[in-house]
């Protein structure tokens, strides 16, 4: 499945719409105004919360938690690497996702178990402020899309973009 996400730079506030490959909205992400750190509700279009994303404050590297049904489900962590930029989507068990690529240009991939399971690219769509997320069947679309939203938040938050290079 391929999804479309409009870059936060061009979106209003911390709200996102995630559309299918033909532009129909399938998910929405709503930010909490005036909160300490990012707090985002990942919802279906009927408003049912599928995941809740919260920024962990006072962490050396950007770190976000993804909650499902009120329980911690996963963490997205910006990893410190000397020669590359990398995030980890840490899910329960040994099946973590490694996220590598050129983040500022939205050209990166998710690998799990040595296999590419999702690609993020602007090449999927001609509009300059939209990037595509192509996910292999059988993967956790909500977790992968939530991680993409987190990466977008890290890139465009004042604290993340001014001090950390993500290309």
Number of domains in the chain: 1
DSSP-derived 3-state class of residue 34? coil
- The more confident residue out of 31 and 40 is 40
Q: Which residue has the tokens 């602007």?
A: 122
Distance CA 83, CA 30 (A): 34
Q: Residue 81: its pLDDT value, please?
A: 63
d(CA 109, CA 105): 12
Query: In this predicted model, what pLDDT tens digit does every residue of 43-89 receive, in sequence order?
Result: 999 999 999 999 887 666 778 999 999 999 999 988 766 556 789 99
Q: pTM for the complete prediction?
A: 0.83
Q: What is the mean pLDDT of residues 127-137?
A: 85
CB-based burial label for 26 (10 Å; 0-12, 13-18, 19+): middle
Mean pLDDT of the chain: 81
Domain that holds residue 114: 2-163
Task: Using the structure block, give the residue that is written with the tokens 């809740």.
Answer: 52
Contact 87, 151 (CB under 8 A): yes
Helix (H) or strand (E) holding 141: helix 141-156
Provide the greatest CA pair distance for the chain: 43
Q: Smallest Cα–Cα separation from 75: which of 104, 45, 96?
A: 96
Compute the distance between CA of residue 167 and CA of residue 158 in angstroms, rounded to an integer: 17
Assign residue 99 the CATH number of its domain: 2.40.160.200
């Amino acid at each position: 499945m391929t999804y479309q996400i409009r870059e936060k730079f061009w979106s209003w506030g911390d709200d996102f719409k995630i559309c299918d490959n033909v532009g129909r909205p399938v998910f929405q992400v709503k930010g909490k105004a005036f909160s300490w750190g990012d707090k985002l509700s990942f919802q279906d279009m009927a408003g049912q919360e599928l995941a809740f994303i919260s920024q962990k404050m006072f962490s050396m590297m950007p770190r976000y938690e993804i909650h499902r049904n009120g329980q911690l489900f996963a963490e997205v962590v910006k990893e410190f690497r000397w020669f590359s930029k990398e995030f980890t989507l840490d899910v329960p068990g040994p099946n973590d996702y490694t996220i590598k690529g050129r983040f500022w240009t939205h050209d990166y991939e998710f690998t799990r178990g040595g296999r590419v399971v999702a690609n993020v690219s602007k090449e999927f769509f001609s509009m300059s402020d939209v990037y595509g997320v192509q996910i292999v069947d059988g993967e956790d679309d909500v977790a992968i899309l939530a991680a993409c939203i987190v990466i977008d938040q890290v890139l465009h938050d004042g604290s993340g973009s001014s001090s950390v290079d993500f290309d």
